[in-house]
Structure 1
Amino acid sequence: MIAAIYSRKSIFTGKGDSVENQVQMCKEYAEKNLNISEFLIYEDEGFSGGNINRPKFQKLLKDIKEKKFNCLICYRLDRISRNVSDFSSTLELLEEYNISFVSIKEQFDTSTPMGKAMVYISSVFAQLERETIAERVRDNMLELAKSGRWLGGQTPLGFGSEKVTFFDNEFKERTMYQLIPIEDELNLVKLIFNKYSELKSLRKVNQYLLENNFKTKQGANWNVRAISDLLTSPTYVRATKTIFSYLESKGISCVGTPNSKNGILTYNKKKGKKSYRSTEEWIAAIARHEGIIPATEWLNIQKTLKENKSKAPRLGKTHNALLTGILKCGHCGSPMTVIHGDLDANGNKRLYYVCSMKIYSKRTRCNNGNLRTIDIEKVVLDKLKEITVDNGLLIKELEKFKLQNHINTENIEVENIKKSIKDNEVAIETLIKQLAEDETSTITKYVVAEVEKREKSIKELKLKLSQALEKQTNVSSYYENIDYVINTIRNFYSNICFEDFEVKKFIISSLIDKITWDSPTGTVEINLWGS
């Protein structure tokens, strides 16, 4: 009889319920109570029980269907899953293939009707625990939101943050942070709101800000996205019941009592640095700072933004421009975008690369000349033909780069780790021999401690080895891409005219870091990657 042992832990710690300890306890239980001595081990370390997207668990499911074992043993039910649906489907799969399930901590055995019933009941409580934890986190967030405090991070334009000391209900001294106004920045915020109310166009507001050299809080040039984010932020509006109704209509939970004076802070918006949560998970709360934009004006702006959204200009979107994203303005460094011109003699539209700063600032911040797409693309393709013909220097450099990096980094790292593991294993063997030769209590204590230290080091090194091998796999995929580029370059000169547009664009972006255009001198500068 063969038993499968599955162990899982969300994070690596040194506590007693490590995956190794779970396996050992399962083995001891199986040998003592089930008379099983042959095992298949499945370990997932660093994976949550909230879903079953775990590599070794997926391997386990596959092996269930291949009947590779007769019994599945785990340390505790929630090691399988904290989700009732996932757990139930796993249990049904085990039943389908006549494989019993044993949880040693809860002492459940699905070979008995009562054991099967208790397994389902316990899995429900496991999911309840997970959902309770999630609810507790949200409740804590709500409690923090009720205080209107600033929870840290980059403060919005118009505000800094300051530390405030206060006494709680039990007269214990506490500290928190709140936003404080910065008048110069708030004046710019008011200007942007007023300009949008006047011009009713994000593009025109952006043009105004660029023409007058206004900067964001981080000192960057304004763009349409940054202006839109500022205008839609409730940080600046004076909170009223109408504002709360508007936010609630978008699914946002609102906390506090509107007083037509204070602004609003939003919490729980982002998931990581870039992605946003669903608005149903957002929390909006009355803040401690005062708002500066009347509710009616703010709501009118939201209405205008919504109406204009479908009318937003689409500059530079074309499927016929090879150099978008690579071509930069030689004067100001801004990306060059594509605009449509009049028709040529054949009835086709002429396309031009134009400096985006020139467009948005109406020539006040840059006046670099336009460039026909067909002209610059011919120059670039001819240059690439020149450097790739006859398998020239570029191919040699790419092959040299591939060889040096592949050998000198990943391979050496893996070999060094393997050597360290071997050295520790040899050291342990020597220590054990020494212990066998001299069993005095004095030396035993030191030898055992050193063996344990070496074993711990081996475990850490094996984890590093696993990560290094995974990295090596990713690097191998990267070098396969280099091989593709090298092969493409070899045929570039003869085949480029026949390549698909997307292939051409990929090849160009693989070879070229940046291209700059300077109209007064008529200079096109092409910078290859690594040059």
Structure 2
Amino acid sequence: MRVAIYVRVSTQEQAKEGFSIPGQLESLRAFCKSQSWDIVEEYKEEGRSAKDLDRPKMQEMMRDIKKNKIDLVLVYKLDRLTRSVLDLYQLLNYFDEYEVKFRSATEVYDTTTAMGRLFITLVAALAQWERENLAERVKFGIHQMIDEGKRPGGHSPYGYKFKKNFDCEIIEEEAKWVIKIFEWYADGFGYRKISDRLNELNIKPRIAEKWNHNTVYGMLRNDIYIGVYRWGDKVIYNNHPAIVSNSLFVKVQKKLKSNHKNLARKGKFPLTGILQCGHCSEPMSGIFDARDKKTYYRCFGCNRSTDGKKITNLLLDEIEKLITSKDYFLSQVDKNYQPLTVNIDEIRKKLEKINQQKEKWYSLFLDEEDNPIPKETLYKKINELNQAEDDLKTILQEAEIDEETPEEKFEKLKNIKNIHLVYDEADAFEQKELLHAIFEELLLYRDKGRNKPITLKYKLN
């Protein structure tokens, strides 16, 4: 009997007694010896979750099974192999296809009978429920911490030093370079040029040895520098002191968007330039896989790849619904896409507060008899408020730049007939022009792993 041993630990479990890699290996080797089995390979999966099959050693083992190198797969416990019911079914069918048996050293399973399959499926379902329930509790706990003013953790971004909870101080020496990075980009420098310049000036980043263009790009998109704190879908405005002015941040975002669209027009993939990862907001790039002759869109931020055909079909179905029902179109336009950085109501409140403050300072400025404050001080305060007001008005103008009503947008789209046929008959350039004419931005959401459902949120042009 040619046996493959599969052992796994996730990051959280590495410290748990009995689940360490050496502990599992010792037990499984002894089990094989007692059964007079030959161990042909040991697959050691370190620091990997069992929520999907996208694991290096798992994929290696499946390739070896296909090459007929293995007769039996042995694990310490079922949850070392998988915690997903769907993945378990896929694995069992895969094992059956290549006549490979499965065995757990600490649990009794017989996958050759219907009852045995039912039992193993129930155990896997409980393992999946436990994992998903734990994830929900962790997410709820983090949101609760944020609501109570406690910071979940993580290192402080360049320019800041977060202390206990959300108390933080600006590191002036780093903050001046943060501002420089934003100013350089606004003045026309690219990410690589900025990172090269920082390295030439011997400016040290927070963690890495040298600056690279990806770090610069991430900083330019990060609204933490205007006082916004994000954790998943939790957003807190005015959470901490800003390093970059609102007007400079908006100017940079506009330039990023413009540059990205200009680059996207040169590409051959229809969704490049408008498709972003909904999990990390990074742009997704088109990739053609010559092996299966398919196009995939990949987010290099969180390493998710999705079949381009699936995205396009979902998108065309959505367009079909949008152009055939005005009620549906109007119901989706406002709720389907959430802006990434700007809270218009918050900006208006700030403008109202600034106007109230200006009125008070103007009153003191005009009252020459009872005013103990020097004119120079009053003049400086009023100028500061005027500058803050200008910054906020710039942001408000950018946020409200789209003056076209939802009804007008629907009238433009409703004339398109049989969108699937139109799209299929178009060439790659025409397909891209069509999608870019309808959508300004697309956000794609999908869990890691094969055959996971995808959802899209969008903003119409």
TM bucket normalised to smaller: 0.3 to 0.5
Compare CA radii of gyration and give the structure with the larger one: 1
Q: What's the TM-score, normalizing by structure 2?
A: 0.40
Q: What's the TM-score, normalizing by structure 1?
A: 0.35
Higher relative contact order (CA 8 A, sep 6+): 2
